[in-house]
Chains A and B, each alone.
Chain A
Amino acid sequence: MKEQKAIEGCRKQDRISQKYVYDLYADAMLLVCMRYVKPLPDAEELMLNGFYNFFKNIDRFIYNGDGSVRPWLRKIMLNECLMHLRKTGELKLKPEAAGEGESVDPVVTGDMQAAELLKLISRLPPGYRTVFNLYEVEGYSHKEIANLLNISEGTSKSQLSKARSQLQVMVKRQGWYN
């Protein structure tokens, strides 16, 4: 079954098509959720919520060829995670000045395995972890992050620099720093 046909089936709430899309993206989406929410059961629940919303609101999705499903799903998962973090109060970040720690360089991971990197990221405090993921992995700007998390740009920059600094220390401790 091709992806396009599966999406057409999903529009008709066809279970086989839905299972096909689920099998295709479940792993990747679970890892997306795990980057933001640490406990695995929570991440799994959020992933299921994301798929549920995707299937229920699939009429809003416009298929633009192969590769258009993944970013759409990622966005849904990200929203689910941010909503969860807001509910649990983990996103209450203290307002900070913009210039604080801005000069911290991006993290150099060297030959570090992706799995190791994911573990280190998940050890970061929720605020650092969220801003780091949004900026470094999802590619959002500080302005967009500020809007998403309802914080100032300065706070976003400060959280990112602190996350980088902390992650760098952890990478060095692991012995992966080149």
Chain B
Amino acid sequence: MPQQDIKTKLDELDTLSAGVVFEREEAWDKLQERLDRKPERKMLPWYRLVAAAALLLLLAGGWLRYRKQSAAMPEIAQKMLPKQQNQTNPGTAAMALPAMPTDIAPSAPYESAPNKQDDRRLVNTQALAEKSGITNPGTRHTTFPQEVDTLPAIHRTIQRKEPTGGYELAMVTNERKTYYLPAQRVMPVVHINDLEQEDNDSAEPAAGTGRNKEKKWIIDLEPAPLNFGTASIRNMKIVHVNALMEPAPYTNDEPVERQQHFISISFLAPFSNKLYNR
């Protein structure tokens, strides 16, 4: 068999007959030298060590920052709560909405200082309305904001641990309004119109609450809790609920429904120290 033939021939071959000059003893000396050599310790490349250290520092920094931010949240939120709400045009159904000061703009240092005192300032919505060509701001179903000097008197507070691991703190004021403070969980910005859609199946609020049936709102909680507040809202870090709205870039020609879509809620984003407005 040819295959067996080749295999047998090659197996039987030795170096001498193959004409190979092989210095066996010299090769053995080399081998012995290698065998006697102590194994060298392999050093980790320096760049790997540097990368590992940098990663550790980043992780530790992130964790510390998160801890600090989480601890400061309730205080910040408490200072952001508005004092009261007004209505400007009770003749329309939309005016049944609670007061939503919509033209509070964040000042410059606000974005980078969530752990410090709240530096937001109230702006003159009348001036803004005139500047943006709005002749009848009352059609926006909001009122002009008022400076918040003191927090409303707290009747009682309720704190409970959420199943998701966060804490929710509810404050009931003497005026029988309920404010919810941030839970110890972080969620992204949620647009109020999205929440409104989620709430389609929820129960109607109690009569006499003064809330528009079509436009769901966050505050105006008497006697019900957050009216869109199913599981989705409970884990949110609500910095403030009804205290912020950017001047809407619309004109008077746009329909009221369109204008109302600019109303939004703001939440603190995790690790970014920024307040996001939508």
Cβ contact of B6, chosen from A48, A51, A137, cutoff 8 A: A137
- Asked if B24 contacts A26 (CB within 8 A), the reply is yes
CA distance A118 to B15 in the complex (A): 11
Interface residue B35 (Cβ < 8 Å from any Cβ of A): yes
CB-CB contacts of A54-90 with B at 8 A, as 1s and 0s? 0110000000000000000000000000000000000
Cβ contact of A44, chosen from B5, B27, B32, B35, cutoff 8 A: B27
Q: With A109-B6, A114-B9 known to touch, is A27 a contact of B22 (CB < 8 Å)?
A: yes
CB-nearest residue of chain B to A13:
B35
- Asked if A114 contacts B12 (CB within 8 A), the reply is yes
- Residues of B near A117 (CB, < 8 A) are 6, 9-10
- Residues of B near A30 (CB, < 8 A) are 15, 20, 22
Cβ contact of B13, chosen from A18, A23, A55, A115, cutoff 8 A: A115
**Segment 1-53 of B: residues with Cβ below 8 Å from A:** 2-3, 5-7, 9-22, 24, 27-28, 30-32, 34-35
- Asked if A106 contacts B31 (CB within 8 A), the reply is no
- Asked if A18 contacts B27 (CB within 8 A), the reply is no
CA distance A27 to B10 in the complex (A): 12
- Asked if B7 contacts A31 (CB within 8 A), the reply is no
CA distance A34 to B14 in the complex (A): 12
- Residues of B near A48 (CB, < 8 A) are 27, 30-31, 34
Q: With A22-B28, A30-B22, A115-B18 known to touch, is A52 a contact of B34 (CB < 8 Å)?
A: yes
Least CB distance from B11 to A in Å reads 8
Interface residue A108 (Cβ < 8 Å from any Cβ of B): yes
- Residues of B near A6 (CB, < 8 A) are none
Least CB distance from B268 to A in Å reads 53
CA distance A51 to B11 in the complex (A): 19
CA distance A139 to B3 in the complex (A): 9
Q: Which of A28, A105, A115 has the most CB of B within 10 A?
A: A115
- Number of B residues with CB within 8 Å of any CB on chain A: 27
CB-nearest residue of chain B to A110:
B5
Interface residue A151 (Cβ < 8 Å from any Cβ of B): no
Least CB distance from B131 to A in Å reads 71
- Asked if A52 contacts B10 (CB within 8 A), the reply is no
- Asked if A34 contacts B20 (CB within 8 A), the reply is yes
Interface residue A93 (Cβ < 8 Å from any Cβ of B): no
- Residues of A near B34 (CB, < 8 A) are 48, 52
CB-nearest residue of chain A to B31:
A48
Q: Which of B6, B7, B16 has the most CB of A within 10 A?
A: B6
CA distance A136 to B19 in the complex (A): 23
Interface residue A92 (Cβ < 8 Å from any Cβ of B): no
CA distance A35 to B11 in the complex (A): 11
CA distance A40 to B6 in the complex (A): 21
Cβ contact of B2, chosen from A47, A52, A56, A108, cutoff 8 A: A108
CA distance A47 to B27 in the complex (A): 9
CB-nearest residue of chain A to B34:
A52
Given A18-B32, A19-B28, A31-B13: 8 more A-B contacts, CB < 8 Å: A15-B35, A26-B28, A27-B14, A27-B22, A31-B18, A31-B20, A107-B2, A118-B18
Point out residues on B near A: beta carbons under 8 Å.
2-3, 5-7, 9-22, 24, 27-28, 30-32, 34-35
Point out residues on A near B: beta carbons under 8 Å.
13, 15, 18-19, 22-23, 26-28, 30-31, 34-35, 40, 44, 47-48, 51-52, 55-56, 105-109, 112-115, 117-118, 136-137, 139
A sample of 27 inter-chain contacts (CB < 8 A) reads A13-B35, A15-B32, A22-B28, A26-B27, A27-B16, A27-B22, A27-B24, A28-B14, A31-B18, A34-B20, A40-B22, A44-B22, A52-B31, A52-B34, A56-B35, A106-B2, A107-B2, A107-B6, A112-B9, A114-B12, A114-B13, A115-B19, A117-B6, A117-B9, A118-B13, A118-B18, A139-B7
Closest 5 CB pairs of A and B: A114-B9, A106-B2, A114-B13, A115-B18, A27-B15
